[in-house]
Structure 1
Amino acid sequence: MLLTTKLLLLQGHNVVASMRDPKGRNTKIANEIKSLGGTIVNIDVTDESSVASGVASAIEQAGHIDVLVNNAGIGVHGIQESFSSDDLKAVFEINVFGLNRMIRAILPHFHQRRSGLILNVSSLLGRMTIPFYGPYNASKWAVEALSENYRTELSSFGIDVAIIEPGGFPTEFIGRLLKPSDTARLKSYGDMANAPKTSLEGFEQALSANPAQNPRIVADAIIQVITTAPGSRPFRTVVDKMGMGEPIEAYNQQLATLTKNIYQAFGTADMLELKVQ
């Protein structure tokens, strides 16, 4: 997200960047953003009071907020059975509950202004599942569902919702993947217990062999959605150069048609269209 922030600032946008511990472990990043004209607020998305005070501070410092980008997230890798309930709670606390805290904190401001964009960074794994990402898959599917509902329930108030669906990229995200804590469960899996490690190594090799899978294309996609006029933005934007993007785009188009037909059948198709104020 640092790359996106820097590009937005260089393009002349006002950016309030949130992070944990901007005067400690993230001092270097915070100073880099501030040197480009950005503003920093301290927010821990797992803490209700931190979110409330941080969003209030962001609004106060910026004057108003036009766009919320929800990018905080944690990934996982391992056999699903070996992830404990506490492991799943840790993932959902950031990827789902944290996202929803941020949305609920900014919505009174957006309602008052009768405008605003909520841009949620999901994943291609919020559209399908592959082995060894179970809790992450589940959390991103939840993000997709939350986004669908917010989109329809907020459209009449001029508040837009959009989703970015990236594939995997060679970033620090991979190095911070949460591993399962209940390793005793792996005894039942025999040789398959080593499959996650082998799978991840193979994926990292595939990333290294594909320079087109550059994080810059995610930043460009986010900026493209932000700068598109309200009422014209795509609801879902797929970002991937590893061969998963095209099938997911086709899937998304089918779902959009199905959704529109069902909404039309119930006389609620107008909820799928943003009412620009």
Structure 2
Amino acid sequence: MARIFITGISGGLGLPTARALLAQGHTVAGSARSPDGRNAATIAALQEAGARIVTMDVTDTASTEAGMADAIAALDGLDVLFNNAGIGAYGIQELMTPEDMTRVFDVNVMGVQRVMRAALPHFRAQGRGTVLYTSSLIGRIATPFYGTYSASKWALEAIVECYRTELSDFGIESCLIEPGAMPTAFFDAMVTPTDTQREAAYGDFAAIPALSAQGLAQMLDALPDQRPERIAEAVVALLALPFGQKPFRTVVDHSGIGPEIERYNAALHDVTRTVLTRFGNADMLRLNA
């Protein structure tokens, strides 16, 4: 059984994953920005189930480093990091101010980097570790009104591509999980544009994002398999695979988009291997199937 740390444990994807891993017998710790806040009841239930909870704000370096140290101490070590904490964004791209975009990137990109910098000294010292990351299908393609969110996940994908290669000699394997849209509280806390003055210039088009979001909600209601529990199942399945034989990318989607993303991923995999082979670096891909 593994010692696993999940960032954003009380959120939409972290919560069912934590429950599934605890049920499997793993030792689980997780982070929450405010354990006594609005998710206090959820946190208490996780603790009752055996999870260790640490306070961590991934937008603050000192908080992240202290939270990681607390998690490693609570788990008496660390085998698996699930870099899962994230925030959404939705709205007409021009109306997103630089400050709006910074809020998203500070969690989804810099937050991931803070967590990695806090965890990697431990993994490198022990010569082994597994890191999972929550990306998105729209970290592979861009769709209207999700430009800022997609950009943050595209950036995450690039960062993880580099971590995959740069950490391979240290025995640290990397896995990206790419979910489709899921009906979670994620949609209730999304960053939306604050430039209301420019919104008027869009006229009737300004109403389209709300209509599109309503259509997505209706679609998700009609897809009972498109649920956060599918992510938990994917994580459990990945961790059951032998070290070094896990796929680099795992698509989790039941809306019909997944196969197209998998086709794109397969093509990129071939391109990546060809480029690294020409530079003599293909061995840096060895820790993934």
- Same fold by TM-score greater than 0.5: yes
1:111 aligns with 124
1:160 aligns with 173
Pick the aligned partner of 1:86 from 99, 106, 109.
Answer: 99
Pick the aligned partner of 1:36 from 41, 46, 49.
Answer: 49
Q: How many matched pairs? A: 275
Equivalence map 1:250-265=2 (5 Å):
250-265=263-278
Pick the aligned partner of 2:144 from 99, 121, 131.
Answer: 131
2:246 aligns with 233
Q: Distance in 1 between matches of 2:192 and 2:172?
A: 37
Q: Distance in 1 between matches of 2:287 and 2:84?
A: 23
Gaps of 5+ in 2: 1-13
Equivalence map 1:138-157=2 (5 Å):
138-157=151-170
Q: Distance in 1 between matches of 2:280 and 2:42?
A: 49
**Aligned residues with identical type, % of pairs:** 47
Paired residue secondary structure (2:81): strand
Asked if residue 174 in structure 1 is aligned to residue 187 in structure 2, the reply is yes
| Structure 1 residue 22, shift from structure 2 partner | 1.1
Asked if residue 273 in structure 1 is aligned to residue 282 in structure 2, the reply is no
| Structure 1 residue 51, shift from structure 2 partner | 0.5
Pick the aligned partner of 1:12 from 16, 22, 25.
Answer: 25
- Per-residue displacement from partner, 1:191-217 (whole Å, max 9, x unpaired)? 111110010000101111111212211
- Per-residue displacement from partner, 1:217-262 (whole Å, max 9, x unpaired)? 1111122122221110000000001111000000000000010011
| Structure 1 residue 25, shift from structure 2 partner | 3.0
Amino acid at match of 2:214: E
1:224 aligns with 237
Amino acid at match of 1:43: M
Q: Which runs of 4+ in 1 moved over 4 A?
A: none
Paired residue secondary structure (1:164): strand
- Per-residue displacement from partner, 1:21-78 (whole Å, max 9, x unpaired)? 1133332122111111111111110111110111011111111100111111111111
Pick the aligned partner of 2:84 from 67, 71, 81.
Answer: 71
Q: Distance in 1 between matches of 2:236 and 2:195?
A: 40
Structural RMSD (CA) = 1.1
Q: Distance in 2 between matches of 1:84 and 1:64?
A: 41
- 8 A Cα contact 1:20 1:26, kept in partner: no
Amino acid at match of 2:240: T
Q: Distance in 1 between matches of 2:226 and 2:142?
A: 20
Gaps of 5+ in 1: none
- Per-residue displacement from partner, 1:123-174 (whole Å, max 9, x unpaired)? 0010000000111010000000000000000001100111000010111111
Q: Distance in 2 between matches of 1:62 and 1:211?
A: 35
